[in-house]
Structure 1
């Protein structure tokens, strides 16, 4: 698949490896943005306005703007990745992210570096604008202290090489069979950058474009792969 095709179509739909006793998060990675029924936070404020999420940041993670060579790079907005995340629910302009976003820093440089979202109620959907996707980026989901699943950059993009251009950013939508109430973001190297988070207490449909769905994943040992190609 060409890079131009990646910009306008669903680039990966995978089931994350979470262990036989855990729920299987279903990951949709595209330029389609967040579902219309999800709650949104554009991270422009350092406190989530509705009080749903308590954010804990351990240095060298933090809220940043712009880019810093060797430390973090601003995500890119394309397609519908910024839909509904602008002021008053407007759409953000395309191009490199000019607003505040979060970076995890590096556990290789600072072992405790991480970002945690603690929700005040169980959730079954999560979405985020994942910038310059790298294999060593990680998102771990928990229900209390019980693991629900862990995703890496490989689950978000078939080419998780840290591309800092528009091709390297994906909007990642994740649905769950088992609810979560805590999310931990880490990266073993600089860095994991993200913006425009979304969440919901129910599973959400995937915004267009959505051209491929893989559910089950034999490579994970959970059964046969089922493919569905939708018409546009």
Structure 2
């Protein structure tokens, strides 16, 4: 069975902006699991199909599109493909068409049948991008990242100042745009520097995502994660003792 479905893929990226920009350490983890508890969730189902964007009644975010970025459903060959949910990573993102605030219930496993976002392609339309304006400075951002490609880029800003950016290669060791169950991950990103704007771009068709989450503080790891961290620290301590012996 694929490692996507069995293990957490994690990488730490030192993301540095242009001259004069803030520097942040972005911690990136992609897994079958979904968003952590205690964060704000938005399933994007309130968006009207097309390039209209708008303000979310669920979370207060603002979504702006530069064509050919847009809100879509289903798949269109050569343009965009629906993310694929698995392992319960739709937990908390109820398939409710944006009626509930916050979303109620869980989005089921399988191909995403709800509204999601595609970035379009900067190679086909200069400046194609999705801009998400967040309510205040955040240090955590999560999203259901579909068919991960190395040419997908997610950039984080504090106003106009670039805090840092990641690509699909920071999420998956060898991203290949897999449109099936193994190609979509729920990606959790934490930052040492606050950001209030996230921009998704792609040099080719396309960067598809759904089910975003955010929080002004770095979420506390789940108990299982804390246990793994403790084991790691014990191992490091043992190694240091051996070196001193």
Same fold (TM over 0.5): yes
Contact 1:34 1:206 in 2 (8 A): no
Aligned length: 215
Report deviation, 1:190: 0.2
Could you list the structure 1 runs, at least 4 aligned residues long, displaced by more than 4 angstroms after superposition. Answer: 206-211
Equivalence for 2:113: 98
* Separation in structure 2 between the aligned mates of residue 192 and residue 65 of structure 1, nearest angstrom: 14
Alignment correspondent of 1:152: 167
Task: Please name the residue that 2:25 is paired with.
Answer: 24
Show structure 1 runs of 5+ residues with no match. 215-226
The answer to whether the Cα contact below 8 Å between 2:40 and 2:59 also exists between their aligned partners in 1 is no
Deviations, residues 53-107 of structure 1 (Å, cap 9, x unaligned): 1111011000000000000000011112100000342111101101110000000
State which structure, 1 or 2, has the greater radius of gyration over its C-alpha atoms: 2
Give the structure-1-normalised TM-score: 0.86
Moved more, 175-184 or 46-55: 46-55
Q: Does 1:14 align with 2:11?
A: yes
Between the aligned partners of 2:186 and 2:39, the Cα distance in structure 1 is 14
**TM-score scaled to structure 2, two decimals?**
0.81
Pick 1 or 2: higher relative contact order, CA cutoff 8 A, min separation 6: 1
In 1, the alpha carbon distance for the partners of 2:233 and 2:69 equals 39
Identify which range, 46-55 or 198-207, moves more after superposition.
46-55
- CA–CA distance in 2 between the matches of 1:54 and 1:164? 28
Question: How much has 1:159 moved relative to structure 2?
Answer: 2.4
> Which residue, out of 52, 67, 92, partners 1:84?
92
Q: Contact 1:75 / 1:164 at 8 angstroms: preserved in 2?
A: yes
- Counterpart in the other structure of 1:107: 122
| 2:74 matches 1:66 | yes
d(CA) in 1 for partners of 2:171, 2:67: 25
Q: Deviation at 1:8?
A: 3.0
Corresponding residue for residue 219 of structure 1: none
Alignment partner of 1:126 is 2:126: no
Within-5 A mapping of 1:34-73: 34-46=35-47, 47-50=55-58, 52-73=60-81
For structure 2, list consecutive stretches of 5 or more residues without a partner in the other structure: 48-54, 97-102, 235-245
Alignment RMSD, CA only?
A: 2.4
